[in-house]
Amino acid sequence: MKPWDQRPFEIRNLFNPAFCGLLLARAINEHEETCGKGMPYSLSLLILPLCLHKNTRLILAAANKSYFLKVVEERPQLLVDFPARATNMFPFCQEGLSLLASKGCLDVSEFGTLMIRPRSVRKAVSGTEENRECQRVAKYLGRQFARISDRATIYASLGVRP
């Protein structure tokens, strides 16, 4: 990973660790509220490639009342280049999680699941329309991943291996 000041302007803006951390926090918190357990680390790696890819985000935002597995089945275009996107987004996910941990917002349970500390991240979804849409999709993914509650199924449906 290049030092921050040597990255292109667009990369610094779009993959800002604070913004990536916020999206991860939204998903992790929603996962915990839905099933009462933290989000497995391996599932957190899927949040950014699904939220930040515009075409994928638009499909998931429109399907916010549908089951995730049904959306993936009905919209196979979600899977186009997904493994490469997930691989490319890994360093940005790590930076987002690292920032959350360094600011005292993230805990790791004894089982290795990620949890957001209460009152550490603002509940209100705010920002530009695109920013709010990214946050809503992150919450949707956290809720859906909790309902599915099987990492292997989620990974297999997306055509990737943990």
The DSSP letter of residue 11 is H
- Please give the pLDDT value at position 48: 97
Starting at the earlier edge strand, list the strands of the sheet with 39-40: 39-40, 113-116, 106-108
**Which residue type is seen at 118?**
P
Cα separation, 120 vs 29, in Å, equals 11
- Please give the pLDDT value at position 1: 66
Sequence ranges of the domains in the chain: 8-157
Indicate whether 53 pLDDT > 80. Answer: yes
- Predicted structure pTM score: 0.92
- Please give the pLDDT value at position 63: 87
Q: What is the average per-residue pLDDT within 18-37?
A: 95
Coil, strand, or helix at residue 114? strand
Q: Provide φ and ψ at 63, rounded to 5°.
A: -105, 30
